[in-house]
Amino acid sequence: MYEKEVKIINPRDRIIHLLKKSLAFLTKKDTRKELTAEMVIEVMPKLITTHLVEMVNENKFISLVAIRRLINFIRLFRLLIELKPEVNDIVDSRLKSFKEQPEKRVKDHCSALGDILSFATISNNYKLSDVLDAYLEE
């Protein structure tokens, strides 16, 4: 007789697996690439910023679904930081240089101001109020 092997799939492990493959595909066009901190930094702030811009678009109605989606994007960002702790170091160094060095607030060092908002949202060491003055100057 045939014996069936029951495989239990942990939902958290499954989402991590799919998240890694998705980020690799979005950044490197190859799902076999290993997840890196740079991939996280490249995708997640833009995902959050794009969703925020869509939410505040005057022609859109902000729904509970949109707010939940934003919170889930932030939670995914946090999960990725848990998987790649060096992301936190990159986020903090970018926030520090943005806050303390006005010459670094140019396109070469800070490609999008929305990234700063995303970074301030998920940083353990900086709050939005810490970088707000520098942000408003730009």
Instruction: Categorize the per-residue pLDDT at 29 as very low, low, confident or very high, splitting at 50, 70 and 90.
Output: very high
From the list 123, 135, 126, 104, the residue with the least C-alpha distance to 41 is 123
Q: How far apart are CA 44 and CA 106, in angstroms?
A: 21
User: Among 18-22, 43-47, 65-69, 79-83, where is mean pLDDT lowest?
Assistant: 65-69
| Residues 63-77: tens digit of each pLDDT | 888 889 999 999 999
Domain parsing of the chain, residue ranges: 37-137
The 10 Å Cβ neighbour count of residue 40 is 24
Measure the N-to-C terminal CA separation of the chain; round to a whole number of Å: 71
The confidence score (pLDDT) of residue 119 equals 93
Instruction: Categorize the per-residue pLDDT at 39 as very low, low, confident or very high, splitting at 50, 70 and 90.
Output: very high
| Residues 86-137: tens digit of each pLDDT | 999 999 998 998 888 877 766 666 667 888 889 999 999 988 888 887 777 7
Mean pLDDT, range 46-66, rounded to an integer = 83
